[in-house]
Amino acid sequence: CTIDQEGLPDTGLDTSSWTCGTAPAISNLVCANDFQFAAKNTLSGADYAYYRTAALDEITYNNNMHIWEKIRLNGYTFADVSNVNLKTSILGYQFQAPFFIAPAAYAGKANSGAETNFVKAAASEGLLYVPSISSSQSIETIGSAAASGQIMFHQEYIWSDLSRLQDELSRMEAAGFKAVFLTMDNAGTSGIRTRYMRYGGGAADHASSFTIDAINKIRSMTKLPVVAKGLKTAVDVKKAADIGFPAVYISNHGGRQVDLVPTAVEILLEVHRDYPEVFSKMEIYCDGGVRRADHILILLALGCRAVGLGRSPMYANVYGTSGVTKLIQILKLELQTEMANMGLADVNQWHGNTSFINTRQVELELFGSPLSDDTHVSPTVIPKPLYTGSGSSTVSSATSSTSSSSSLTSSSSNTQTSSSSASSTTSSVSSGGGGGSSSSSSSSSTTSSPSSSSTPTTLTSSTISSSTSSTSTSSAPASTVSVTCPTSNNTVYAGGPNGKQFLIECGIDHVGGDLKSQSVSSFTACINLCDSTAGCVDVSLSGSACYLKKSLGAAKAAGGIQGAKLIS
């Protein structure tokens, strides 16, 4: 075995005592990338190559791994992060974390427990698992391994043989899977994967017609909600929204299908630029190169509801269920730590909250100019869990007890079990700050029905959407919504008496144009005053002095000012 760095960050892992062909002690492994080294050390050259391979020169694979280096996180100091919440909903079902085990074929190459190991690890950690249709085990074997109440979705390909497709979709329903991820990034066959081709490679028999008619026909073949997986341009995301997919999954298949296609970050930025309205029409899942908590947070902030892990669980499966469980626990702990240190402790407030990330370098490379004058993607569009699902249970309550048994997660179980109160507190304090609105739904159903993903009341008041005029009219009462800087920066508030939409601009003063000023008790009260004052289009709050503006002067950076401008 040659354990070189493989282009991964050097984190000081010492492999000098490892024996080639033998799994090193799992205690050596402390981050997701460590599992890749361990898998390379343990698996045959062919099996490792199968998991690791990508299309052609693997440029997309490498971009997936390295795009993070171009992004900066904006952490804020003045925040209460004593309670961290990772729980969120995916397609209306509650899970303990905003990441999931993505479909990946042939788990049996790493471990005889194959996909069943993922089912068990996902159950104990409260995660979503989505097995591949090209699994080592059958749909029925995987389905029957589920814990009581465990929610799983299943992946499917668009086979050219429609009767095979129908048969598999029916079996997924019968085996209890709750949704289908329909992968549509590989017309005809799989990508050309040079690294694995040296060991043989394989053919697939995918359909070659992916027209909207063909896709709609497949959607009509199952009662389950179908999610379009493998979208890799903003245009396709928009099309998927237009034809009514409840969710889409932005993915370049880990770089395995086509080389030189963009990363999820780049595709999301294009969606922000061209079709921001889709974020409020459907859920978006993403993946590619996710190995750390900060990668997950970046994708959530860009509008993903949940983030998939492809290769990492496959590598961890060398150790069976315990390896996959440890990987999940590592990422949960990283998430809790990063979120607390960044000053935003509820994962539901990260959704679509671009005030915590600076993607300007990527925007400049991609578009030639930034998407907005400040460093944030603008306008911020806060995705919400629109899809309420039909299910009634959540992933097992076994979660907290299982996770608390490990030293890695003892803190996690603490924080999670207390998150219910944490989230509700947070939502009342700053529900304008991102999808925080959804925190109330996720926290309120620690162990019960998600179908109520029943969020909408609080969601609406903090959600921008050109398509959601209804949203603001059904806003929560103003008294339940409040905005603060910097948490709410770049989000939209519509909780005033008339439901007018204001873009929060922390640290921005639009000079001149004064209408009147008045002393107020809070930033929210200042915006509400503007909402109810004829002719007011902007506010600047300085201390308790709320300045209402009748015209929008030039934007000037002004520390200490809490600004908000009328956008509709």
Ligand X SMILES: Cc1cc2nc3c(=O)[nH]c(=O)nc-3n(C[C@H](O)[C@H](O)[C@H](O)COP(=O)(O)O)c2cc1C
Residues near ligand X, by CB under 6 A: 50-51, 64, 102-105, 132, 134, 155, 183, 229, 251, 253-254, 256, 287-290, 308-311, 314
Of all helices (H) and strands (E), which one includes residue 546?
A: strand 545-549
Could you write out the DSSP letters of every residue in 132-143?
Answer: -TT-SS-HHHHH
Between 103 and 143, name the residue whose CB sits nearer to ligand X.
Answer: 103
Contact 309, 287 (CB under 8 A): yes
Nearer to ligand X, 311 or 510 (CB): 311
Element at 124 (helix H, strand E): helix 114-125
Burial 198-223 (b: 16+ CB within 10 A, else e): ebeeeeeebbeebeeeebeebbebbe
Q: Minimum CB separation from ligand X for residue 152, in Å? A: 14
Burial class (CB in 10 A: 0-12, 13-18, 19+), 393: middle
Q: To which residue do tokens 């809790």 refer? A: 336
Confirm if 354 and 145 have CB atoms less than 8 A apart. no
Instruction: Kindly tell me which of 102 and 300 has the beta carbon lying closer to ligand X.
Output: 102
Distance spanning both ends of the chain, measured CA to CA: 62
Phi/psi at 260 (5° precision): 70, 10
Smallest gap from residue 476 Cβ to ligand X (A): 37
- Residue 453: CB minimum distance to ligand X, A: 24
> Rounded to whole angstroms, how far apart are CA atoms 237 and 460?
23
Between CA 281 and CA 139 the distance in angstroms is 31
d(CA 326, CA 110): 16
φ, ψ at 394 (rounded to 5°): -120, 170
* Shortest distance, position 38 Cβ to ligand X, whole Å: 16
133's tokens: 């249709």
Q: Which amino acid is at 318?
A: V
Cβ proximity to ligand X, 43 vs 561, nearer residue: 43
Phi, psi dihedral angles at 503 (to 5 degrees): -90, 125
Q: C-beta of 157: minimal distance to ligand X in Å? A: 7
- The distance of closest approach from Cβ of residue 165 to ligand X in the complex, given in angstroms and rounded to an integer, is 14
Tell me whether strands 128-129 and 555-566 are parallel, antiparallel or unpaired: unpaired
Q: Rank residues 250 and 529 by Cβ distance to ligand X and give the closer one.
A: 250
Least gap, CB of 429 to ligand X (angstroms): 35
Of 182 and 530, nearer to ligand X (C-beta) is: 182
Shortest distance in whole angstroms from residue 280 CB to ligand X: 25
Interatomic CA distance for residues 279 and 268, integer angstroms = 10
Instruction: Output 103 or 496, the one with its CB closest to ligand X.
Output: 103
Residue least distant from ligand X (Cβ): 310
Nearer to ligand X, 310 or 320 (CB): 310
CB of 141 to ligand X, least distance (A): 16
Q: 80 or 205, CB closer to ligand X?
A: 205
State in angstroms the smallest separation of the CB of 406 from ligand X. Answer: 23
483 and 526 in contact (C-beta within 8 Å)? Answer: no
Instruction: Name the residue nearer to ligand X (CB basis): 310 or 450.
Output: 310
Cα–Cα distance between 282 and 269 in angstroms, integer? 16
Q: Toward ligand X, which CB reaches closer, 240 or 309?
A: 309
On whether the CB atoms of residues 36 and 311 are closer than 8 A, the answer is yes
Minimum distance of ligand X from residue 53's CB (angstroms): 8
Q: What stretches of 461-504 show up as alpha helix (H) in DSSP?
A: 469-473
